[in-house]
Amino acid sequence: MSQRKSAQLLQQLVFVGPMALFFVLIMVIPFLLGLYYSMTNWDGVSENIRWLGLGNYVHIFRDDPDFRNAFWFTVRFTVCGVILTNLIGFFLAYALTKPLRTRNALRTVFFMPNMIGGLLLGFIWQFIFVRGFSAVGEATGLSFFKLPWLGDGPTAFWGTVIVFVWQYAGYLMVIYISSLNNVPSALIESAQIDGAGRRQILRHIVVPLIMPAVTVCLFLAISWSFKVFELNLALTKGGPFKSTESVALDIYNEAFTNNRLGLGTAKAMIFFVVVAIITSIQVRLTKKKEVEM
Amino acid sequence: MEKTSNYRLGTWVAEILLIVIGLIFLVPFYFLLVNSIKSFGDILAHSASWPTTFRFENYANAWNKISFPTALGNSLIVTIVSNALLLLISSMAAYQMVRHDTPFNRFLFGLLVAAMVVPFQSIMLPLMEVSNVLSLNNSIPGLILCYLGFGAPLSVFLFHGFIKTVPIEIEQAARVDGSSRYGVFFRIVCPLLLPMFVTVLILNTLWIWNDYLLPSLILNDPELRTIPIATYMLFGQYTKQWDLALPALVLGITPIVVFFLVMQKYIVSGIAAGAVKG
């Protein structure tokens, strides 16, 4: 009996052990350390670390306009990014599940930007905004292209949104396509026979049936846009005048430019709580709308 | 009859509209490619036009400036080794957690699921302390170890969901025939997990290959740079020197675009399969 027990223990160690070890070392311990550091004046170098209790948190909420600005940027960015990526992703998926001749090629085109990381994408688009758009503006005379795309707060905001949508709409399209393909065609045909119009079918049959995909796509889009970092770093470095500084970038700057690692960690903890709350509310809300087949 | 011809017209309109949108989607690549082989003056004066002279030496310069072979090699090693180990340890862990549903395993699984929403920024600063203590800094194996820790939650979660749908009867039959638990896992369960291996591999490849922040914190040595870090360094040094920057960007995106075009079918189905409920 005890031999069997020890064999089982060995199995547990062999199967779960390595994963658990790395997970604890790389995520759990740093997270717990982070909770501690967030209550100190840690600067990353000095040996004497002073305990501040909730001092950092009070400071962030009371007098840290940079964090507030970054937070406000991130919220606006998330709202625009989530709505646009999902609408465009769904529209593309809906159109590309129709029997079009160029359907496969177009799916490839729309998905491709996803393969390129945010950093390289940001640099590519920096060139497009600075040189490409002005060239198009001169050729066509359209004032849209002549705007100072990265040089001005509002346009830099929309510039970042454009790149984000360009990058991620295709990813959500893939998820929506696979979900749309699972909608039974018999159901749609019988609705057509009953005289339902295309819009009615979309609203009352297709959308309710693909709600699980909506849950996933909203979740992904919220977490991507809330954590946006590399895109801002490469496109604008948060400028002009910190107008496109996301929360993730603000935390990074606080830690590595200002060397206030304790304060940066406190911001990161607030960031974590906000992300966790928003995504769990969203998942709970959209899951309620899911219907059983 | 009227209805079908109407439908066909609608399809044509949709098709043309989508092709136009598709071309707009591709415009950034056009600008990137044509300008990467122009002289600096031409880039500034005629950004939109087709190049008049083809300056391929731009590519040679960029190749040397970002030490492309080194960066590519590092990116490949990090991505391949991290992926291989992640697949192994997370499939094994998920298997044990499903088939051996103890309170400890349930607790660990709950912890992993919760960790999926933790943003990287929330642990990056203390992680640097930890990596200092464990001497993971400035080493490729150290970076890979970090990816194992970070990749574990999502990978285990995906395998866990999949293994739950695998019927246990085959495994029990194999046990009766005298196979050990390890034999059952490697000979019977692993082949069944193949589709999930592909999904996890693809999601982790997209993430690890393109990641900038973690390697930038762990690696300082220029010899160890991955493609995103090498590109970032180049941009820091040669701000707005587009005849160098654009070919460097083309070089940087080529490996992953080629990977995509070769593996397209698997990537698309992998992403669709990975979209389990959050």
Task: Tell me how far apart the alpha carbons of residues A69 and A250 are, in angstroms, rounded to a whole number.
Answer: 9
Higher pLDDT, A87 or B129: A87
On whether any CB of chain A is under 8 Å from the CB of B140, the answer is no
Residues written for chain B: 278
pLDDT at B44: 82
Give Cα A135 to chain centroid, integer Å: 31
Beta carbons within 10 angstroms of residue A79's beta carbon: 13
Task: Tell me chain A's radius of gyration from C-alpha atoms.
Answer: 24
Residue A267: which residues within 8 A CB-CB, separation 6 or more? Answer: A60, A67, A247, A250, A251, A254
CB B149 within 8 A of CB A61: no
Inspect the interface and report whether the beta carbons of B18 and A96 lie closer than 8 Å: yes
Residues of chain A contacting residue B129, judged by C-beta atoms under 8 Å apart:
30, 33
pLDDT at B237: 85
pLDDT at B3: 47
Which amino acid would we find at residue B106? Answer: R
Residues of chain B contacting residue A276, judged by C-beta atoms under 8 Å apart:
117-118
Q: What is the per-residue DSSP string for A48-107? A: ---B-TTHHHHHHHHH-HHHHHHHHHHHHHHHHHHHHHHHHHHHHHHHTTS--TTHHHHH
CB A262 within 8 A of CB A38: yes
| pTM of structure | 0.92
On whether any CB of chain B is under 8 Å from the CB of A110, the answer is yes
pLDDT at A199: 86
Scanning every residue of chain B, which has its alpha carbon at the shortest distance from the alpha carbon of A252? B121
pLDDT at B278: 40
CB A280 within 8 A of CB A272: no
Return the DSSP state at B51.
Answer: P
Assign residue B178 a region (left: φ > 0; alpha: ψ between -120 and 50; beta: otherwise): left
User: Rounded to a whole number, what is the distance in Å from the CA of B64 to chain A's nearest CA?
Assistant: 18
On whether any CB of chain A is under 8 Å from the CB of B167, the answer is no
For B6, B7, B8, B9, B167, the CA distances from B2, given in Å and listed in that order, are 6, 9, 10, 11, 52
Return the DSSP state at B179.
Answer: -
For residue A39, report the phi and psi dihedrals to the nearest 5 degrees.
-110, 20
pLDDT at A10: 92
Is the pLDDT score of B107 beyond 50?
Answer: yes
Task: Tell me how far apart the alpha carbons of residues A220 and B117 are, in angstroms, rounded to a whole number.
Answer: 11
- Helical ranges in A147-291 per DSSP H: 153-181, 185-193, 198-201, 207-209, 211-226, 230-235, 247-256, 261-288
Task: Tell me how far apart the alpha carbons of residues A25 and A37 are, in angstroms, rounded to a whole number.
Answer: 17
Closest residue to B149, CB basis, from A25, A105, A118: A25
Q: Which helix (H) or strand (E) holds B141?
A: helix B140-163
For residue B66, report the phi and psi dihedrals to the nearest 5 degrees.
-95, 10
| Tokens, residue A11 | 């199995």
Mean of pLDDT values over B105-109: 95
A 30-69: CB under 8 A from B: 30-31, 33-34, 37, 44
A 151-180: CB under 8 A from B: 166, 171, 174-175, 177-178
| Confidence grade of residue B277 (pLDDT, cut at 50, 70, 90) | very low
| Tokens, residue B83 | 């992926």
pLDDT tens, residue order, chain A (293 aa): 578 888 889 999 999 999 999 999 999 999 999 999 999 988 877 777 888 888 889 988 888 889 999 999 999 999 999 999 999 999 999 999 988 888 899 999 999 999 998 899 999 999 999 888 888 888 888 888 888 888 888 899 999 999 999 999 999 999 999 999 988 888 888 888 888 888 888 888 898 899 999 999 999 999 999 999 999 999 888 878 888 999 999 999 988 888 889 999 999 999 999 999 999 999 889 888 887 65
CB A173 within 8 A of CB B270: no
**Residue pLDDT, tens place only, B168-218:** 888 889 888 888 889 999 999 999 999 999 999 999 999 999 999 999 999
Residues written for chain A: 293
**Closest to B125 (Cα-Cα) out of A79, A185, A258:** A258
pLDDT at A72: 94
